[in-house]
Amino acid sequence: MTIGILGGGQLGYMLALAGYPLGLHFRFLDPTPEAPVGRIAQRVTADYLDHAALEKFAHGLELVTYEFENVPVEAAKFLAARVPVYPPPAALEAAQDRINEKKLFRELGIATTDSLPVLKKRDLDPAIKELGLPSILKTCRMGYDGKGQWIFRTADDVEKAKSSLTPVPMVLERFVPFTRELSILAVRSKTGETAFYPLVENHHRDGILRLSLAPAPRIEPQIQRTAEDAARRILESLNYVGVLAIEFFEAGGRLLANEMAPRVHNSGHWTIEGAITSQFENHLRAVLGLPLGSAGPAGCSAMLNLIGDLPDSADVLAIPDAHLHLYGKSPRPGRKLGHITLRAASPERLALRLSELPAFFHRPDFCLDSALTHSASLPA
Ligand code: AMP
């Protein structure tokens, strides 16, 4: 049985690695010839809108899924006329545009950040007047890892940014003075069965995820319930199949949804060693209509992204309970090259393991030190 995956990055790579023990085969479609999956599976190198390539790609597939949320909806719809596509293209449509995403959150009664559309440059000043400063302007589409964002702290910042703004639809959001960032991964099978992973605490720097702590320390049961409730509403309203990630800000004891991703997610990499069933395996189980595996944690985990350059593998593997994942990508500033998951029996032990990490992880561009002293995080 062969599963087609749109996008050939590390998420696809890890999906395939989770699928091989289940007897599955994979075929990828990605426009870039250096996509890392080329090392482990069949790959079609073509543009997502190349209909002839899509036909060839779809031939003989059991179903198609995706690991990249900016796949053109048109490509997903073209394929859906030939073979089942999960999650449904409607989920892509909702997640690709920040205005649609926020509209969906509001329609489903999910608390989200206050925001206003800025479709034209002239909408900016009235939006700032209404939402106040500080605020963040984001492009509606194609923004990820903090790209396409402007933070306005003063009126001067707004004036300075005006000349560099590209004429594309944007959204202005009120800045949320959050205590921390949390995310939930939820999964819904073709049969309607659902499972929810515990909330994860995420630390970003320059808009890129650096560290996830899982389960998030000190979570009130009510907060976990709120996150699951939000996820359940989205899963049901979209008749969703597969893994869905939702990112939240925790502020004043409340959760505000920031964005969602209709795919496996970086903040779920810890599940490979840190949960009973990984997000990758559960995504495959879901799209195939197989029983879902438990989303319960196996101890406490910390996932550290390796960005831009790599530490010495021997230094990492000398740490007890450290698991190293390298994606086979060439180093480049800001590029996710791999990750490490540290697993421990208790939060105290995890804090100890993190403090023992080599100097590589205590550089100012990492955020380990701030995470270790963060009041909401690990035990002091
Ligand atoms: P996003 O692309 O929306 O995930 O934003 C990237 C990062 O910018 C988030 O992970 C937050 O750290 C920060 N951020 C985004 N939106 C807001 C907001 N409304 N208030 C405060 N920080 C934000």
Q: Is the CB of 38 under 6 A from ligand 1?
A: no
Residue among 236, 213, 241, 210 at smallest CA distance from 104 = 236
Q: Residues with Cβ < 8 Å from 37, sequence gap 6 or more? A: 5, 8, 9, 12, 13, 16, 26, 28, 30, 43
| pLDDT score at 379 | 63
- For tokens 């996509």, the residue is 35
Tell me, using a 6 A CB cutoff, whether residue 146 lines ligand 1: yes
Q: Whose CA is nearest to atom 2 of ligand 1?
A: 146
Helix (H, G, I), strand (E, B) or coil at 3: strand
pLDDT at 243 over 70: yes
Q: Which of 142, 249, 265, 374 to mutate to test the pocket of ligand 1 (most atoms within 8 A of CB)?
A: 249
Report the atom number in ligand 1 closest to the C-alpha of 247. 4
299 close to 344: Cβ distance less than 8 angstroms: yes
**Of 152, 144, 149, 191, residue with least CA distance to 166:** 149
Q: Residue 361's pLDDT is what? A: 79
Ligand 1 center from residue 338 Cα (angstroms) = 23
Mean pLDDT of 209-219: 94
Q: pLDDT value at position 136?
A: 95
**Ligand 1 binding pocket includes 181 (Cβ within 6 Å):** yes
Q: CA 70 to CA 47: how far, in whole Å? A: 13
**How far is ligand 1, taken at its centre, from the CA of residue 113, in Å?**
10
Q: Give residue 161's pLDDT.
A: 87
Name residue 32's amino acid. Answer: T
What separation in Å is there between the alpha carbon of 145 and the centre of ligand 1?
9
Average pLDDT over residues 169-191: 97
d(CA 69, CA 92): 6
Residue with the nearest Cα to atom 8 of ligand 1?
207
What pLDDT, on the 0 to 100 scale, is given for residue 380?
A: 54
Read off the pLDDT of residues 284-342 as tens digits, 9 standing for 90 and up. 999 999 999 999 999 999 999 999 999 999 999 998 889 999 999 999 998 999 999 99
- pLDDT digit string, tens, across residues 17-68: 999 999 999 999 999 988 889 889 999 999 999 999 999 999 999 999 999 9
Q: Does 101 sit in the ligand 1 pocket, CB within 6 Å? A: no
What would the pLDDT profile of 125-168 be if each residue is shown by its tens digit? Answer: 999 999 999 999 999 997 666 678 899 999 999 998 888 888 89
Q: What is the Cα–Cα distance from 214 to 196, expressed in whole angstroms?
A: 13
Q: What is the pLDDT of residue 140?
A: 92
CB atoms within 10 A of CB 83: 15
Name the one residue in this structure whose structure tokens are 């502020």. 251
Q: What would the two tokens of residue 147 be?
A: 């790209």
Sequence-separated (6 or more) residues with CB below 8 Å from residue 275: 197, 214, 294, 295, 296, 297, 298
- Tell me, in angstroms, the distance from the centre of ligand 1 to residue 106's CA: 18
**Which of the pair, 178 or 368, is modelled with greater confidence?**
178
Q: Is 143 in the pocket of ligand 1 (CB under 6 A)?
A: yes
258 lines ligand 1 (CB under 6 A): yes
Whether residue 234 is predicted with pLDDT greater than 80 in this model: the reply is yes
pLDDT band at 210 (very low <50, low <70, confident <90, very high): very high
| This prediction's pTM | 0.95
Mind listing the pLDDT tens digit for each residue in 57-108? 999 999 999 999 899 999 999 999 999 999 999 999 999 999 999 999 999 9
CA distance 304 to 309: 13
Collapsing DSSP to helix, strand or coil, 273 comes out as helix
Backbone φ, ψ for residue 358 (5° rounding): -65, 170
Q: How far is CA 231 from the centre of its chain?
A: 14
